[in-house]
Amino acid sequence: MSIKTVKEKFGTISRDERFNKAVTGLLLLLFSARLYQNTGNFYVSAFPLLIWVIAAAFGELKKNKESWKAFLWFIPFLLWNLISVLWSDHPGYSLQRAVFAVFITAGFLSAGYLFTDYLKEKFTFHYIILIPLILLSLFSMLSGIPGNSWSGGNGLGFMGFASHQNTLAAAVIFTLPVLFYPFTEKVRISPGKNRLLIINALLLTGALYILISSHSRASVLAFLIFFILFALISLKKGSLIYVVPALFLIGAVVMFSPLGKKIEDYAYKSAPSVLSTRQEMIKASIDGAKLGGLTGLGYGISHRDTSIVLAGDHERNGIFVREKGISSLGIVEETGITGLILFLIIYIPLIRRVKQSYNFTTRQKLFILSVFLMYSVHAQFEAWWIGAGSMFYQIHFFTIGYLIKNS
């Protein structure tokens, strides 16, 4: 990617689009500060930007009827969250959280819609989060700063400057698509293209090292599923006859070798079984979902009758809050099976737009599908589907808005 190419492409972008890109990029940067220790309230300074972004996107959507129709699909999900306030045991609390969810969802959908890629590469907004994360994490590894950087996951995982090793690992996998996307098309050898591939390769090496060092099994599992799908869609059809058996053979050899024992120790995390550390959370999530039924207990509500007491359980202004863990069950507990259906419906306009798009090849469309599958798998271990304040909820909806615009 030469400077001349950037300048030529930059010249094709209007002043408004440049400004929108700067604002949405700054928005992501400010909200991503929540990744790190002692920066919990820093993102509040970005709220005025969210208001501006929503207003600007509304103006753009009025010019594009198809995009406007796609955005309308999100209203039932958000409206149902608000309606659930009517039967909540703590209506004031539920209303506060539901309004916040509407604001955040609309804001990040709008921000993604306004973001413009200057170059042919897609998902470039991921760099805004990924590059600082890698640089800070590598600095932490080399310097030993902060002193608790290796204290995550029962003392087994690296977390660097992040607030938790699971948070660090999730931030890595949520922003990795930008490094893989260039490989969804035929690589043409050129000095500029080579430099981009080399930079991506270095970033990918650092990102994967950080991911593995974090000892976050949910993120590693989600990434492995994504990577296997990515490898399969990148191969020619005839190659699958040889590749699939080869993968099984390699897996068998690894599991019965000394390396297999190391992988087993990594997966078990010094516990009797893989799910030992999550069994209580799973049981509590199932109990909560049963209580939620068709309509749920109210947005943001956790029921006390979920017999299990977890480490993350706490009182907030007299209201019981439980760490839910599994997104799909968490939605059922709060807004019922109805809420879960309405949440899943939001993917319909995305799938439709991407499927009908001429901006992506078939391989790239399958790549996008594998990205959202990775996100969804991760959400069943970390319940960010019901946490509008989660950075991963925000990246998820930013990406959806971005794809609605670019499909």
| CA dist., res. 297 & res. 334, Å (int) | 5
Question: d(Cα 389, Cα 12) in Å, to the nearest integer?
Answer: 36
Nearest alpha carbon to residue 378 among 223, 212, 202, 164: 223
CA distance 257 to 260: 5
- Per cent of the chain over pLDDT 90 is 53
- Position 39 scores a pLDDT of 76
- For residue 104, the enclosing domain spans 3-406
The amino acid occupying position 380 is Q
Residue 146 per-residue DSSP state: S
Q: Residue 19's pLDDT is what? A: 87
Q: Report the DSSP beta bridge partners of residue 314.
A: 321
177 vs 3 pLDDT, higher one: 177
% of the chain beyond a pLDDT of 70? 79
Count Cα atoms within 13 angstroms, Cβ side, for 24.
Answer: 32
pLDDT category at 1 given cuts 50, 70, 90 is very low
Q: What is the pLDDT of residue 248?
A: 67
The encoded tokens of residue 369 equal: 């599908």
pLDDT of residue 236: 63
Q: Which of 85, 96, 177 is nearest to 130 (CA)?
A: 177
Mean pLDDT of 256-266: 58
User: What is the pLDDT, as a whole number, of residue 20?
Assistant: 86
| Residue 312 main-chain phi, psi, to 5 deg | -85, -5
Instruction: Please give the pLDDT value at position 246.
Output: 61
Question: When comparing pLDDT for 240 and 342, which is higher?
Answer: 342
Contacts of 323 (CB under 8 A, 6+ apart): 281, 310, 311, 312, 313, 383
The pLDDT tens digits of the residues spanning 67-87 come to 999 999 999 999 999 999 999
Q: In terms of pLDDT, which residue wins out, 190 or 320?
A: 320
Mean pLDDT of 324-338: 94
pLDDT of residue 197: 78
35 or 106, which is more confident: 106
Can you give the pLDDT at residue 12? 56
Q: Tell me, what's the pLDDT at 10?
A: 45
Nearest partner of 127 among 34, 200, 186, judged by Cα: 200
State the Cα–Cα distance between residues 139 and 123, nearest whole angstrom.
Answer: 25
CB distance 13 to 118 below 8 Å: yes
- In tens, the pLDDT along 303-315 reads 876 555 666 667 7
Residue 9's pLDDT is: 46
> 343: which 2 tokens?
């949440």
In this model, does residue 182 exceed pLDDT 90?
Answer: no
- Which one of 10-24, 151-165, 273-287, 350-364 scores highest in mean pLDDT? 350-364
Which residues make beta-bridge pairs with 321?
314
Q: Distance between CA 303 and CA 282 in Å, rounded?
A: 15
Burial 323-343 (b: 16+ CB within 10 A, else e): bbbbbbbbbbbbbbebbbebb
Position with higher pLDDT, 207 vs 305: 207
- Which amino acid belongs to residue 129? I
Angstrom distances, CA of residue 44 to CA of 14, 33, 134, 316, 317: 29, 10, 24, 20, 21
Average pLDDT, the chain: 84
Q: How far is Cα 37 from Cα 290, in angstroms, rounded to an integer?
A: 36
What single DSSP character describes residue 181? G
Higher-confidence position of 104 and 239: 104
| Total residues belonging to the chain | 407
The Cα–Cα gap between 303 and 191 comes to 59
Q: Domain count of the chain? A: 1
Question: Per-residue confidence at 198, pLDDT binned at 50, 70, 90?
Answer: confident
